[in-house]
Structure 1
Amino acid sequence: MSRTRSVAGSAPGVHRRTLFAATGAVALSAGAGYALRPTDSEAVTGAAGAPDAGPAGDPSEAPAGASRRVPAASAPYTRGTTLAAVATARGSGYRRLGDGPGWARAVREDLASARTGRERRRTALAAFVQLTDLHLTDTQHPLRLEYLRAADVRAWRPQEALTVPGAVALVERINALRSGPVTGAPLHFAMTTGDNTDNNARSELEWFLTVMSGGRVTPDTGAAGRYEGVQNSGLKLYWQAGDSVRDADKQLGFPYVEGFLAAAVREVRSPGLNIPWYSTVGNHDALPLGTYASHGDSYLTDLAVGGKKLMSVPAAEAKKLQQSLKKDGDPRGAVFRDFLKSHARSVRSVTPDERRAPYTPREYVRAHLDPAVQGRGPVGHGYSTANLDAGTQYYSFRIADDVIGVSLDTTDPGGHYEGSLGAAQFAWLDRTLRENKDAYAVVFSHHTSRTMGNLRRDPARPGERRVGGAEVVALLARHRNVLAWVNGHIHKNVITPHSAAGGRAFWEISTASHVDFPQLARLIEVVDNKDGTVSLFTTLVESSAPYRASAADLSQTGLASLYRELSLNAPGARTGLAGKREDRNTELVLKKG
């Protein structure tokens, strides 16, 4: 039975440890079952421990880890977190946002009792931030399924054109966080847990890597500076923001915003994260439209880069296609191809663009290794040339002296949006945890344990069995060093305790997306309570954008505010994605292994 206590806050620890070995996180293994070559394992610190170059390649720049070190007396920093304030809806109908009270921290004792006096004894072991389900979206992409909105109003979001300025505002918020809100420890890295892109398009991958590492992004494809998509189609099915047409969303109170589409495809600038960041792959990153195992399908690729876009279909036909997707009835996209061919006369002309082509898993890894997107590092953001050689997208890395991180690839190459692991990766995970049994482990993935029921074989490895979520939970529970499994995919905050015989236990921490309201990321601080227990403190954060949006403010910051407000009001949007009190700001207590 869950035993949850609320506390207004937690006092800082009086002891702190150096969070990183040497100057930053160091790669351990790249999913190939062997230690990396020196050129890979020294990705962060450079050869022989030399400081890594900063974003501009200046070797005199301070190492990434050292650049975030703070004095031992640093106080906890709660400003900008949901401990201090939370965006809260005002009024009815089309609602606006304003400042609301922060969320108190809940102490969860499902797996171990919280002992008194631990706040005076504890020592910080690690501190990092998780971003998930950014869904950076090329809204003009010809293969998008917006027309499913005819059957399900939730199939298209009015805020999707603003995913890039929204993500930049989240990067700005993370950069402004001076230290952990509980321990005062510096945040040494960020991890994205998948669905970084939306349509498996090269355009979106370029935007994601630039947003995270810094630079200029123009979220536009096709004709430069001219939007060509459903939002200037005149179709009442979609919010025609800059048109006087009385569309379905305006009937619900959505505003007329003059110049919205021109602003949405305008260049924005990202400062890039000022801490190292790592990347985990999700189904939308690995599969076209997040569900089809159609890499190499020339018909769909030609449509993706071509000049025809389907924007509306009858509701009955939209429902039939949507049901095929939900029931996992079309993993290779055969039904989808037939559907598109049957509606070939209904398409509209758009400007072709090769940048919309799908990318393969190998191209995804190679793009991360591009020096142009190194930012604060590490080189490859977890991935290495060993991944390219082995054809894998999983790896492990050193978080701190006593903590390792493990990033999994839970996408199923056979198709569909639910996931699983290949048997080889499952064995590698077991071996990695055993070989690092003297270090605590935090496991990262996109899918949750309950969304890993897709056991379809990998077309490239038809003889390899797939492993579901229940088996992964059982494996992690067998290793006493596993503290947490951190993931996303479900777009909702949920924290689940897992336990097994012999006192083995760990926490599964699932975090809401940044495309749906309330658009959150999560800080996680790991501490040794010096009483036979470990605590994981989770603290949610919002982007830096002001809560109050204005249709007259189409600046980069103004668009980020509008992005949040639109997500709040998206017709049919699920409520409760913030989770319950015990899924938000928490202290998760765990017995030492």
Structure 2
Amino acid sequence: MSRIRSVAANIPAINRRTVLAATAAGAVSAGVGYALRPTDSQAATTETTKVVAQSRKAPAAPLAPYTKGTTLASVAAPRTSTPYRRLGDGPGWSRVVRGELAAPKSGRAGRRTALAAFVQLTDLHLIDAQHPLRLEYLRSADPHSWRPHEALTVQGAISLVERINALRGAPVTGTPLHFAMTTGDNTDNNSRTELEWYLTIMSGGKITPNSGDLRHYEGVQNSGLKLYWQPDSTVRDGDKQLGFPHLDGFLAAAVREVRSPGLNLPWYSTVGNHDALPLGCYGHGDSWLAEFAVGGKKLMHLSASEAKKLQDHIKTGNDPQGHAFRDLLKSHVRDMRSVTADEKRAPFTPADYLKAHLDPAHRGNGPIGHGYSTANLEAGTQYYTFRIADDVIGISIDTTDPGGHYEGSIGTAQLKWLDKQLRDNKDSYAIVFSHHTSKTMDNTNHVDPARPNERRHGGDEVVALLASHSNVLAWVNGHIHRNDITAHSAPDGRSFWEISTASHVDYPQLARVIEIADNKDGTLSLFTTLVESAAPHRTDFNDLTQTGLAALYRELSYNAPGHSATLGGDPNDRNTELVLKKG
């Protein structure tokens, strides 16, 4: 197909020369992060598109392929054999060429030209670790239901931003990075505190990762309960019995003010279930739970049998509105600890999420709204299309289920909108972004309160739709906290790659650089390169600075009881070259 600038019926064409002149872009190869107005059947817009984002400028010297600062060079790995394993520099992960969808042809490295490059962050799970609604007590039934490093999510995320800022461009093609995309679960408890921290981390500024009484920490880690790691205490808790250290001053350092530089390139946002739903699984609407979230009581312990029952309710989706959860909390009011109430812990709605992104205080390097627009706000939608480069568009979809449960689906209106975007932009390659993977979009039985008569659609239907369009190159997502790359092909030869990336809350705590290149031989290559945060692999228990805590964040996550050792994926899910035919 012809790969010229897209002219869509409902997305005004962009004159590239005008754009470059207006933004003073120094090099065509750097690309411009064009922002296309989101549209859907309820909120189409025909107003003139304005350029609101620009890639960071290309460096003065020509860029070249590199490995430094990526997992090609080194990956954190254990350097001790003690029960609590200390990390250090480990061997890097090599690049694997995958040819399931097209045979890689010799000589392509000397022919290829770069089309676009970007960074995917996913599942940051910024956690207000003192929030009254947190489910830490599920740890009595499942050790990994609470992680010893959860008080350090802000420091860890800032260090990831620092790593992205330090990248010299795209590792394989050397092209400047166009933008960064977060693919959901940016927050954890659907709390306003966490939303503010997330937007400040991405856009830059000071953050105090504390809530309630800002003079000190109030949560499970100074409760004296042996169920949780008590870092400042002499209590011989269960984690210390596994080798976790005693760290005087840890909690005071964890809630101390930190600063984020913000991303130095444009960034876009995709919504996840933890961003849309309280605790990532309950629908909005229960006033008692909303009041409890900002109140002064917190449950910190539950019997293993009750914890297992609640966990089963969550997994099966039998309590999408949280009624059984509410009743459980009410029955344990006398067992709760008093904490400082805080209105800033209130849950945020999808409209609140949009308004926060549109707030000029969080613009950072743009674009305004980070993909979302006032059209989304008016229509009550959280999906949009944007232009990545001359020949490439991005489409962010909302796979969360407003009816409740942590698995995903999409409504009929959005499915039709997605089809229309791909048809209207058939002369551009397309990268689709979502939170959920195709295999975790199986939640189709709950009703969307805003659209009660609308049918919900699962991952198989989305795969079939994407495979019916020859311009789709990749579906990029998260949710499963694991690196996983799947080849999807249709009987007529149309194909695309599904790229799922590990979280930044569970080890190995990664983000992914994705590059699109034309091999000039009838094939394209998508290069995926994983990166860790900028924090050093080795930790120092005496270093409780912002950087020291970010390093400790990684090491604690590696040692977290009950964690999965398979989240890094197989070698063909990590650093790859994914080859596919040109449509």
Q: Same fold (TM over 0.5)?
A: yes
Distance change (3 Å), C-alpha of 1:17 and 1:503: farther
Is the CA contact 1:284–1:291 (under 8 Å) kept in the aligned structure 2?
A: yes
| Residue 35 of structure 1: how far off its partner (Å) | 5.6
Q: Deviations over 1:225-265 (max 9, x none)?
A: 31000000000000000000000000000000100100111
Aligned to 1:348: 337
Q: Secondary structure at the match of 2:413?
A: helix
Aligned to 1:432: 421
| Residue 328 of structure 1: how far off its partner (Å) | 1.1
CA distance in 2, matches of 1:141, 1:461: 31
| Residue 534 of structure 1: how far off its partner (Å) | 0.5
Q: Secondary structure at the match of 2:492?
A: helix
Aligned to 2:34: 25
CA distance in 2, matches of 1:592, 1:296: 47
Q: Following superposition of structure 1 onto structure 2, how do residues 256-295 of structure 1 map, counting pairs within 5 Å? A: 256-293=246-283, 295=284
| Residue 18 of structure 1: how far off its partner (Å) | 3.2
Q: Secondary structure at the match of 1:165?
A: helix
Aligned to 1:466: 456
Q: Deviations over 1:97-125 (max 9, x none)?
A: 11111111000001000000000110100
| Residue 315 of structure 1: how far off its partner (Å) | 1.0
Aligned to 2:99: 109
Is the CA contact 2:30–2:58 (under 8 Å) kept in the aligned structure 1?
A: no
Is the CA contact 1:218–1:266 (under 8 Å) kept in the aligned structure 2?
A: yes
Q: Secondary structure at the match of 1:576?
A: coil
> Which one of the candidate residues 95, 120, 133 is aligned to 2:85?
95
Once structures 1 and 2 are overlaid, which stretch shifts more, 93-102 or 163-172? 93-102
Q: Following superposition of structure 1 onto structure 2, how do residues 169-248 of structure 1 map, counting pairs within 5 Å? A: 169-248=159-238
Q: Secondary structure at the match of 1:380?
A: helix
Q: Secondary structure at the match of 2:356?
A: helix
Is the CA contact 1:447–1:488 (under 8 Å) kept in the aligned structure 2?
A: yes
Is the CA contact 1:19–1:400 (under 8 Å) kept in the aligned structure 2?
A: no
Distance change (3 Å), C-alpha of 1:102 and 1:17: farther
Once structures 1 and 2 are overlaid, which stretch shifts more, 221-230 or 245-254? 221-230
| Residue 576 of structure 1: how far off its partner (Å) | 1.4
Aligned to 2:318: 329
Is the CA contact 2:42–2:379 (under 8 Å) kept in the aligned structure 1?
A: no
Is the CA contact 1:111–1:589 (under 8 Å) kept in the aligned structure 2?
A: yes
CA distance in 1, matches of 2:80, 2:58: 43
CA distance in 2, matches of 1:525, 1:518: 22
Q: Secondary structure at the match of 1:518?
A: coil
CA distance in 1, matches of 2:366, 2:422: 25
- Identity among equivalent pairs (%): 70
CA distance in 1, matches of 2:39, 2:77: 42
Aligned to 2:305: 316
Distance change (3 Å), C-alpha of 1:541 and 1:490: same
Q: Secondary structure at the match of 1:405?
A: strand
Aligned to 1:59: none
Is the CA contact 2:188–2:275 (under 8 Å) kept in the aligned structure 1?
A: yes
> Which one of the candidate residues 400, 419, 444 is aligned to 2:408?
419
Is the CA contact 1:497–1:505 (under 8 Å) kept in the aligned structure 2?
A: yes
Asked if residue 305 in structure 1 is aligned to residue 294 in structure 2, the reply is: yes
Aligned to 1:44: 52
CA distance in 1, matches of 2:174, 2:207: 33
Is the CA contact 2:30–2:176 (under 8 Å) kept in the aligned structure 1?
A: no
Residue identity in the other structure for 2:527: F
Q: Deviations over 1:392-438 (max 9, x none)?
A: 00000000000000000000001000000010000000000000000
Is the CA contact 1:20–1:399 (under 8 Å) kept in the aligned structure 2?
A: no
Q: Secondary structure at the match of 1:419?
A: coil
| Residue 37 of structure 1: how far off its partner (Å) | 5.4
CA distance in 2, matches of 1:99, 1:503: 43
CA distance in 2, matches of 1:207, 1:476: 34
Is the CA contact 1:43–1:379 (under 8 Å) kept in the aligned structure 2?
A: no
Q: Deviations over 1:354-411 (max 9, x none)?
A: 0000000010001000000100000000000000011000000000000000000000
Residue identity in the other structure for 2:242: L
Is the CA contact 1:212–1:273 (under 8 Å) kept in the aligned structure 2?
A: yes
Once structures 1 and 2 are overlaid, which stretch shifts more, 547-556 or 194-203? 547-556
CA distance in 2, matches of 1:38, 1:394: 18
> Which one of the candidate residues 413, 427, 430 is aligned to 1:441?
430
Distance change (3 Å), C-alpha of 1:443 and 1:20: farther
> Which one of the candidate residues 385, 389, 410 is aligned to 1:396?
385
Residue identity in the other structure for 1:44: V
| Residue 43 of structure 1: how far off its partner (Å) | 5.3
| Residue 297 of structure 1: how far off its partner (Å) | 1.6
Is the CA contact 1:146–1:155 (under 8 Å) kept in the aligned structure 2?
A: yes
| Residue 70 of structure 1: how far off its partner (Å) | 3.6
Q: Secondary structure at the match of 2:180?
A: strand
| Residue 319 of structure 1: how far off its partner (Å) | 0.8
Residue identity in the other structure for 1:463: N
Q: Secondary structure at the match of 1:497?
A: strand
Gaps of 5+ in 2: 1-25
| Residue 29 of structure 1: how far off its partner (Å) | 2.4
CA distance in 2, matches of 1:429, 1:282: 18
Is the CA contact 1:127–1:187 (under 8 Å) kept in the aligned structure 2?
A: yes
Is the CA contact 1:19–1:401 (under 8 Å) kept in the aligned structure 2?
A: no
CA distance in 2, matches of 1:130, 1:163: 18
Q: Deviations over 1:153-185 (max 9, x none)?
A: 110000000000000000000000011110010
CA distance in 2, matches of 1:223, 1:32: 46
CA distance in 1, matches of 2:60, 2:320: 53
Is the CA contact 1:483–1:506 (under 8 Å) kept in the aligned structure 2?
A: yes
Asked if residue 163 in structure 1 is aligned to residue 153 in structure 2, the reply is: yes
| Residue 20 of structure 1: how far off its partner (Å) | 6.3
Q: Secondary structure at the match of 2:541?
A: coil
CA distance in 1, matches of 2:309, 2:28: 56
CA distance in 2, matches of 1:219, 1:34: 37
Asked if residue 547 in structure 1 is aligned to residue 537 in structure 2, the reply is: yes
Residue identity in the other structure for 1:24: G
Is the CA contact 1:32–1:390 (under 8 Å) kept in the aligned structure 2?
A: no
Aligned to 1:587: 577
| Residue 478 of structure 1: how far off its partner (Å) | 0.2
Q: Secondary structure at the match of 1:303?
A: helix
Residue identity in the other structure for 1:474: A
| Residue 214 of structure 1: how far off its partner (Å) | 0.1
Asked if residue 386 in structure 1 is aligned to residue 347 in structure 2, the reply is: no
Is the CA contact 1:126–1:399 (under 8 Å) kept in the aligned structure 2?
A: yes
Residue identity in the other structure for 2:375: A
Q: How many residues align?
A: 556
Distance change (3 Å), C-alpha of 1:94 and 1:423: same
Residue identity in the other structure for 1:202: R
Aligned to 1:528: 518
Once structures 1 and 2 are overlaid, which stretch shifts more, 196-205 or 450-459? 450-459
Cα RMSD over matched residues? 1.4
Is the CA contact 1:136–1:204 (under 8 Å) kept in the aligned structure 2?
A: yes
CA distance in 1, matches of 2:61, 2:263: 23
Q: Secondary structure at the match of 2:189?
A: coil
